[in-house]
Amino acid sequence: MAGVTSAYRSKVNQGLISTSDPRSAYLFPELVDPRGVADSDELFVFQYWPATVEDSYTPEYATKTIPGGSHPLYQWTGGSARDITFTANFTAEIDNGANRGGEQGANSRGGVGSDATLGLVPGSRYTVDIRAGLNRIRSYMLGSYGGAGGGLNSTASPPKKLYLVLEGARLGGDRDEILCLLRSAPITYEAFFPNGLPRIVQVSMTFSQVVQHSEGEDSRIQFIGRETFEQDARFYKYRGTVDRTVGG
C-alpha cells in the first residue's frame, strides 16, 4: 500500500504532530483510509518511543553435502518470518477514571476538546487511559464474530492486519510503514492506583511482517524484493580520507 506515510504526513503538515516534536511510533489497521487516519479512532500512538527495537529476518537455504567437500552447497529456498519486537511502556500520573464521560475524561482519552490532538505527541501527556490502550492492543490479536462473541456456527473474521510505523526508521526500506500482524503482547503490570486502574505497564510486543494484502488491483500477495531496500541503501556512506558510496 504505497504512500501510506506520505498520505499521513499531509496531516502532519496541518499541525497534528509538530515537526519539532519527537518522532512517533504508531499503528493503524490496513483498511483504514490513510488520508483520514490522523482523525480516526483507529490510530494508535504509543505513549513513548521504544527504548530498543529488534528487527530479525533469516533467509532460508537448503544444504547439500558433497563427499570430500570442505563446505556444503547452499540453495536459496526463500525467506523466514521477519519479526519486529519491542517493549511499549505506558505510565499515568493522574487517575482519570473518575472523569469518564465528562469533558476532561474525553480529552484525556484523545476525544473532543481543544487539546485532543496532544494525544499524538508521545511522552508529553501522563493522563493516558492505560486500560483503554491495553484493550486496544488485545483487540488486535483477536478475530471477530460479528459482536462481543459467537457460538460454534458464527462466521469468524481474522485479526486485523496493521501498519506499524516508526517514523524516520524506514522499516519498509523505501517507506516508514510495514504491514504486519501482532503475534504476541504479554503485559506486565508494575503499579496500580488505589482504585485498581493501571499506573505503570510494560507490553512486550512482537509483530510479524506479512505479504498478504487484503485488497489491490493485482495479486494480493506481494513479495518483498531487495530492490525495496536498495533504493535507500545507496545513500549509505562512510567518511575517511575519501568519501565513497558503499556498493556504488
> Over the stretch 200-216, which tens digit does the pLDDT of each residue have?
999 999 999 999 888 76
Q: pLDDT of 22-76, one tens digit each?
A: 567 888 888 776 566 666 678 898 988 999 999 999 999 999 999 999 999 999 9
- Stretch among 114-118, 121-125, 220-224 having the lowest mean pLDDT: 114-118
166, exposed or middle or buried, with CB in 10 Å at 0-12, 13-18, 19+? buried
The answer to whether residues 6 and 177 touch, using CB atoms and an 8 Å cutoff, is: no
Distances (CA, A) of 28 to 69, 73, 197: 51, 43, 25
CB atoms inside a 10 Å sphere around CB 141: 13
pLDDT given for residue 162 in this prediction: 92
Task: Identify which of 149, 158, 147, 148 has the alpha carbon closest to the alpha carbon of residue 182.
Answer: 158
The long-range contacts involving 54-62, CB below 8 angstroms and separated by at least 24 positions, are 54/83, 54/84, 54/85, 54/86, 55/82, 55/83, 55/84, 55/171, 56/82, 56/83, 56/85, 57/81, 57/82, 57/83
How large is the average pLDDT for residues 215-221? 68
Calpha distance 113→162 (Å, rounded): 28
C-alpha dihedral sign at 201, 115, 52, 29:
positive
pLDDT given for residue 63 in this prediction: 95
- Stretch among 132-136, 187-191, 215-219 having the lowest mean pLDDT: 215-219
Q: Is this structure's pTM higher than 0.85?
A: no
Q: pLDDT of 156-178, one tens digit each?
A: 888 999 999 998 888 999 888 89
